[in-house]
Structure 1
Amino acid sequence: MATLQRNPATGNEPKARAAALTHYIQVALRHGLPAHDLMRQFGLDPAMLVNREQRISFTAVCRLLEASASESGCLSFGIQMARARTAFDFGVIGLLLAHKRTLREVLLAMLKYRHLLNDALGLYVETTGSKVVIGEQIPHDTGEWPRQTVELAIAVLMRTCVAILGPNWRPISVHFTHSAPPDLRDHRSYFECPVKFASDFNGLICLDSDLDLPNPLADPELVRYAEGLAKSVGLEGSPTIDAEVRNAIYLLLPVAQADIEHVANQLHTSVRSLQRHLGNADTTFSNLIEEVRHDLAIRYMSKERYSIGRVAELLGYTTHASFTQWFTRRFGMAPKSWRNAHCK
C-alpha cells in the first residue's frame, strides 16, 4: 500500500533546490566540459550555487544533466555526482532527517517536507509482503526523459538509506525504467547490488523490516529543533494546492487509490476542505485527475515496452474494458489504434 527554467523559477513550474547541482561543476570539469557556459545555456547562473536553498527550474536541471552526459560521453554522469555528495545534504531538512529514529520516519518526513527538497520528484513507498519498494516518480513532463536526474535521485536516496542503516547495508535491488548503458561499472560499484533496467519503476527494493531498524544517531531534541526551522522556512515557497493534488494523484494512480478520499488523506486534510481549496484555485478534483491521466497515457502509450494492460493498471483502471472506454472517449480512437498511429 502506498504511504505515502529559467532562472528565476516562477508560477507552477516544478522547482528544485540549487543544491541539486552539488558537485556538478567538479564532475563536468573532470570530463573537460565548459561547466559554467553549459549552465548559462540552460538559463542557470553559476553564482546561484552559492545559495544552495535557492529555487531553480527542475526542467533546466534535467536538460543540463542530459546535455552534459551527451557531450562528455559519460552515461553515468548523475551517479558520479551522487558519489561526490555527502549524506543528508538537504540543508535544514537534512538535520531533521539525520536524527529521526528509523528509516520509516525519515521517508515520512521526506514526504511531508518534499516542497523544501524537490517538488518535482514524488517519493512513494509500497509494501508487498516482507518487501518494500521505495521509489521516485516525476509527475511532470520534462520533454526528453531525464535519465541522469533520475539516476542521481535514486543514488542520493540510497545514500540516505545507508546513512540510517549503516555502511554495510544494501538494498535487494535497484531499478530504472530506462535502458541500460553500455558501461555498467559505475552503477555496479556505487549500488553494490543487482541493478535492473527497463523496469516498471525507478527506485529500490528492500526488506520491510529494514524500515524500522533503530538509527544510532537518533536525537528527538534535534528533530524538534529542526522541525521548528523547517516550519518557518516552509511558510514561503510552498507548492500550490493544484500542484500538490496532481503530485498525489500521480503517486496513487498505480495502486488504484487516486480518489478524492485517499488524496485528501495523503495531503492531511478533509475532502470538504480540499474541494474548497480547489474551487478557490478555479479547478476541481475531476479536472485534475483527467489531466494527469491524459499526460500519463501519452507518456506510457508512447513506449511500446508497456503493454496496454500495464498502461491501464498504471492509470488506475482495474479492467481493460474501462480503460479502453476512457481512452477512446479522450483520444477519439482505441488504445491499440492510437499506438499503431503514433509509434511507427
Structure 2
Amino acid sequence: MKPLVRNATLSGYVELSQSLGIDPRGLMRQAGLDPAGLAVQDRWISGAAVILLLELSATAARREDFGLLLAERRRFSNLGPISLVIREEPDVRSAVELLVRHEYMYNEMLHNRLSESSGLATLKVGLEVGEAMATRQATELAVGAFHQVLRNFLGTRWQALSVCFTHSAPADLGTHRRIFGTTVEFNREFNGIIFYGNDLNVPNPMSDPLLRTYARQYFESIAVSRDTTVLDRVRDLIEVLLPTGRCSIEQVACSLGVDRRTVHRHLAASGETFSSLLNATRAQLAEHLVANPRRSLTEISGLLGFSAPSAFSRWFRERFGCSARDWRAQRTGPRGLGEGPPLSAARRGPHL
C-alpha cells in the first residue's frame, strides 16, 4: 500500500494558490485529489498525489519556492492530535523526538532522524514515496515545516547553522534567505537542518506541567501502531468520510492511492467486505451517538452518512431490532441512565 498523508498537509494550499493566481481545484483534480475533501483535515490521502500536486502548482505559478511558501502557513494544529502533546513537552528535545518517533501518525512518507555529534544536532528529513518522481516542493515543505516547529520553541530570532537541500538552488533565493537566512545550502548530501545541540535543552515556554500528564495520557489512548493494517486504515477512513456523505469504496480507494479491486482484495484477506465494515463501523458509531440525548436523530442520520432520516430509521431498526427512539429511551430512561440494553443487536445479529 502506498504511503498516505493527512489532508492537513495541504492546509493553506487553496489560499496560497489563489494568491498566486492559479486554480487550486483544477490542479487538485489533475493530481487525482478531491477538492471537497480538504474540509476534512484528518482524512488520509495519497502522498504521491500530494507530491504531484505541489510540483504542478509550482510550475503553474512559476514559483520554485511554492513548497516553502506553503510551509510558512503551517501551524502546530496541522500536525493533528500529536500537536496537543508536543506543546506540553518540557523541552525542545523531547518535543522533536516525539515528532520524529511518531511521524507516521501525520505523514507516512516521512522518515526523519535526529542525531547529535560534537555539540551539533542534525535533523535529517527524508521522503519515501514508493515511486520515482520529483519531490523538490514536498521536500522544501517538510524541511520548512520542521524549521517552523523549531522556531515556535526557540523564538523567531533563532537561526539554524545550516539548512540543507540535495537539489540545486532556485533562480531566485529571496524566499529561502528570508525564511532560513544566509545559511541555506544546496547540492548537499542530505535534506535537513543543522543546529547547536544545546538548543535541544531549551525549556519549552509553552509547556504547562499540570497539563503534561493529561496530554500524554490522551496521546497514548489514540496513538496507533506503525504496523497499522489495511483493515484499520479503511475503518478509519469510513469514520472520517461518513459525515461528508461521500463514503464509498471509490473514495476510500482514492484516499489510499489504490484502485477498488485492491481494497476488496485486502479486506477479503481479513474476512471482510466493504459493506460489512461500513455497517459494523456505522453500528459502533450509532451506539454512541444515539445514546447522547443532546443530538437529534436527524443530526445523527447525517453524521452516519444517510441521505435522509427515513433511510437511517430503516437501517437502525434492521440492525438493532427496534427504532432509534426506543433504543435511546432504553438507554436514558428512569430504569437506569446509561445502562442500556443487556446486549445490542449489533453484536448479536449476523455480520452483514
1:77, 1:176 → 2: CA distance? Answer: 15
Q: Is the 8 A contact 1:176 1:202 kept in 2?
A: yes
Instruction: Give the corresponding residue for 2:324.
Output: none
2:33, 2:217 → 1: CA distance? Answer: 31
TM-score normalised by length of structure 1: 0.63
Shift in CA distance, 240/205, structure 1 to aligned 2, threshold 3 Å: farther
1:176 matched to 2:162: no
2:190, 2:98 → 1: CA distance? Answer: 22
Instruction: Give the corresponding residue for 1:201.
Output: 190
Instruction: Give the corresponding residue for 1:135.
Output: 124
TM-aligned CA deviation for residue 88 of structure 1? 4.9
2:129, 2:228 → 1: CA distance? Answer: 14
Instruction: Give the corresponding residue for 1:152.
Output: 141
Q: Secondary structure at the match of 1:89?
A: helix
1:79 matched to 2:49: no
Amino acid of the structure 1 residue aligned with 2:45: I
Instruction: Give the corresponding residue for 1:60.
Output: 49
Amino acid of the structure 2 residue aligned with 1:136: V
Larger radius of gyration, structure 1 or 2?
Answer: 2
TM-aligned CA deviation for residue 189 of structure 1? 0.4
1:246-293 per-residue CA deviation (whole Å, 9 max, x = no partner) reads xxxxxxxxxxxxxxxxxxxxxxxxxxxxxxxxxxxxxxxxxxxxxxxx
Instruction: Give the corresponding residue for 1:103.
Output: 92
Instruction: Give the corresponding residue for 2:180.
Output: 191
1:25, 1:237 → 2: CA distance? Answer: 30
Shift in CA distance, 212/240, structure 1 to aligned 2, threshold 3 Å: farther
2:224, 2:76 → 1: CA distance? Answer: 25
TM-aligned CA deviation for residue 190 of structure 1? 1.1
For 1:37-52, what aligned pairs fall within 5 Å after superposition?
A: 37-52=26-41
Instruction: Give the corresponding residue for 2:211.
Output: 222
For 1:1-344, what aligned pairs fall within 5 Å after superposition?
A: 12-235=1-224, 239=228
1:147, 1:93 → 2: CA distance? Answer: 26
What is the percentage of aligned positions where both structures have the same residue?
32
TM-aligned CA deviation for residue 102 of structure 1? 1.2
1:240, 1:129 → 2: CA distance? Answer: 40
Amino acid of the structure 2 residue aligned with 1:157: F
Paired residues, number: 230
Q: Is the 8 A contact 1:88 1:98 kept in 2?
A: no
2:29, 2:191 → 1: CA distance? Answer: 29
TM-score normalised by length of structure 2: 0.62
Which range moves more in the overlay, 39-48 or 167-176? 39-48
Amino acid of the structure 2 residue aligned with 1:23: G
Long gaps (5+) in structure 1: 1-11, 242-344
Q: Is the 8 A contact 1:172 1:193 kept in 2?
A: no
TM-aligned CA deviation for residue 227 of structure 1? 2.9
Q: Is the 8 A contact 1:69 1:75 kept in 2?
A: yes
TM-aligned CA deviation for residue 103 of structure 1? 1.4
Shift in CA distance, 168/231, structure 1 to aligned 2, threshold 3 Å: same
2:222, 2:73 → 1: CA distance? Answer: 27
2:182, 2:134 → 1: CA distance? Answer: 24
TM-aligned CA deviation for residue 87 of structure 1? 3.9
Q: Is the 8 A contact 2:47 2:129 kept in 1?
A: no
Shift in CA distance, 117/73, structure 1 to aligned 2, threshold 3 Å: same
Q: Secondary structure at the match of 2:215?
A: helix
Amino acid of the structure 2 residue aligned with 1:220: P
1:213, 1:31 → 2: CA distance? Answer: 38
